[in-house]
Amino acid sequence: MRLHLTTSKPYDFAASVQDYGWIDLAPCQWLEDVQTFQRIERLSTGKVVKARVIADGNDLANGTSDQAAHNLNPGVVTLVVQVEPAEEITAGERAEIEANLSWMLRLDEDLEPFYQQAQNSLWLWSQVKNGRGRLLRSSTLFEDVVKTICTTNTTWRQTKGMVARLVDLLGSPFPLDPSLHAFPTPIQIAAVDPSFLQEEVRLGYRSAYVHRLAQEIVSGKRDLEVLCNGNLTTPELKIELKTIKGVGEYAANNLLMLLGTYSHLALDSEMRAFVSERYFDGRPAADADILSIYEAWDSWRYLAYWFDSIA
DNA sequence: TTCCAGGGGTAGA
DNA sequence: TCTACCCATGGA
C-alpha cells in the first residue's frame, strides 16, 4: 500500500531524518543507497507494519514522480510512503500510519519563525536554509522517554545497544521478516521481570526506571500521551516530565525538545564539551555561561545549539 | 585498576 | 537549593 504525506518548503528530507541521533536507534533505520527512512511500527490494532518513506522524485523503484498526481502546490514537499504488508490495511490503520509518520517527521510543525530568525545569522542560515530542523522523534512519547533514559550516564554506543536489545527481545516481530521488531509497548515491558531488563537487555540501573514507567502506564496511573496534545504550558510539561523516575533536568529538557519546545537546552557532557571547545578555548564552562551563548535564540535555543554543534 | 560516558535519586545540610 | 554518595555497564 502506498500513501502520501506533505509538508511545507523548505524541507530537506534526507538531512532532516538523519540530523538527530534517533535515526541510529531501533526500530528506525536510514537506507543510504535508496535514501529511504524505514520504520517498523506496531499499530494500536496490534498489526505490525514496515513503512518506507522517500522524498517524491527520489523514488528509485518507481522511477516516476507522484507529485503531479497528488499536489501541484510549489510550496509543498511530498513524501511517498510504502507500507507492508499491503493487504488488509483498514482505513483506521492507514490514518494511524499517516498520523504517526507525520508526528515522527514533525511535518506539521511551523518552523517559519525559526527560519526568519535564522536569517539574521550567517552561520546558522547556511546550515538550515534548505529545510532542516524537523528532528526525528518516536511515534509515542513513551518510546522517546525510554530512549532518553537510555542516553543518561552512558555512551552513545551503549545507548544503541540497549535500545536494539529492548526492541529485539521484547518488541512484536514484523510478520514478513521476523528478524525485525517494533518498539515494545508499555504492556510488553511491564510483563517481564525487571531482572530481565537488567540481565538480558542490560539497561543497568535504568531497568527499574523503565519498568516502573511501563507499569505506571499499564495500570492507568500515568498517561503520557496527554502531554503530546499541546494543552499544557511548558513549565507544566516540564514539571510533569520530571515526575517520571529516571527523568531529571537533562532528560526533561531533551523531552521538551522532542515535544516541539526548543527554548530549553538539555545540558549534557556533549554540550559542555562542545561549548567549552568552541567558545571557551577548551576551558570548562559554567552552566550559566553555556546558556548565555544561546540566550538570544529565545524560543529556538535548542535548534540554534544543535545546528551549531553539528556544523 | 581506575575513570567516565549525551545523569539522576536520595539523604542530609 | 546545594553537595556527597551511590547507582550498572562497558570501553579506554
Average pLDDT, chain A: 95
Distance A150 CA to B6 C1' (A): 10
Residues written for chain A: 311
d(CA A81, CA A64): 14
Cell numbers at residue A204, please?
543497568
User: Other CB atoms closer than 10 Å to residue A223's CB: what's the count?
Assistant: 10
Distance A153 CA to B12 C1' (A): 24
- Name the closest nucleotide to A201, judged by C1' and CA: C9
Closest CA to A279 of A300, A305, A301, A297: A305
Chain A residues 100 to 159 whose Cβ lies within 7 Å of strand B are 151-156, 158-159
Share of chain A above pLDDT 70, in %: 95
Euclidean distance between the first and the last CA atom of chain A, given in angstroms as a whole number? 38
Strand B proximal to A248 Cβ, under 7 A:
yes
d(CA A81, CA A254): 28
Q: How confident is the model at residue A68 (pLDDT cuts 50, 70, 90)?
A: very low
Say yes or no to pLDDT of A88 above 90: no
Q: How confident is the model at residue A86 (pLDDT cuts 50, 70, 90)?
A: confident
The pLDDT assigned to A90 comes to 96
The pLDDT assigned to A97 comes to 98
The nucleotides of chain C lying under 7 Å from a protein CB are 7-11
Distance A216 CA to C7 C1' (A): 22
Distance A164 CA to B6 C1' (A): 18
Strand C proximal to A154 Cβ, under 7 A:
yes
CB A306 within 8 A of CB A253: no
If phi > 0 it is left, if psi is from -120 to 50 it is alpha, else beta; for residue A298 that is left
Residues A106-124 pLDDT 10s: 999 999 999 999 999 999 9
d(CA A235, CA A239): 6
Distance A250 CA to C4 C1' (A): 20
Say yes or no to pLDDT of A154 above 90: yes
Q: Where are the alpha helices (DSSP H) in chain A?
A: 13-19, 67-70, 91-105, 112-118, 122-128, 141-149, 156-170, 186-190, 194-199, 206-218, 234-242, 249-258, 269-279, 287-293, 301-309
Strand C proximal to A205 Cβ, under 7 A:
yes
Closest CA to A164 of A30, A27, A21, A22: A27
Strand B proximal to A249 Cβ, under 7 A:
yes
Dihedral sign of CA atoms A87, A93, A97, A102 in order: positive
Share of chain A above pLDDT 90, in %: 92
Which residue has 514484523 as its cell numbers? A174
Spacing of C-alpha A284 from chain mean position: 30
Strand C proximal to A204 Cβ, under 7 A:
yes
- Name the closest nucleotide to A162, judged by C1' and CA: C9
Residues A263-275 pLDDT 10s: 999 999 999 999 9
Beta bridge mates, A4: A80
d(CA A69, CA A56): 11
Closest CA to A37 of A48, A49, A29, A47: A29
Angle between helices A249-258 and A141-149 (to 10 degrees): 140
Q: How confident is the model at residue A26 (pLDDT cuts 50, 70, 90)?
A: very high
Say yes or no to pLDDT of A46 above 80: yes
Say yes or no to pLDDT of A242 above 90: yes
- Name the closest nucleotide to A204, judged by C1' and CA: C8
Closest CA to A185 of A215, A221, A226, A209: A215
Strand B proximal to A205 Cβ, under 7 A:
yes
Strand B proximal to A247 Cβ, under 7 A:
yes
Strand C proximal to A249 Cβ, under 7 A:
no
Residues A166-222 pLDDT 10s: 999 999 999 999 999 999 999 999 999 999 999 999 999 999 999 999 999 999 999
Q: What is the pTM of this model?
A: 0.96
Say yes or no to pLDDT of A257 above 70: yes
Say yes or no to pLDDT of A44 above 90: yes
Say yes or no to pLDDT of A71 above 70: no
Cell numbers at residue A272, please?
559542555
CB A182 within 8 A of CB A170: no
User: Other CB atoms closer than 10 Å to residue A277's CB: what's the count?
Assistant: 12
DSSP state of A36: E
Strand C proximal to A157 Cβ, under 7 A:
yes
Spacing of C-alpha A304 from chain mean position: 18
Residues A277-286 pLDDT 10s: 999 999 889 9
Distance A4 CA to B9 C1' (A): 45
The nucleotides of chain B lying under 7 Å from a protein CB are 4-10
Cα–Cα–Cα angle for A75, A50, A80, rounded to 5 degrees: 20
Beta bridge mates, A83: A51
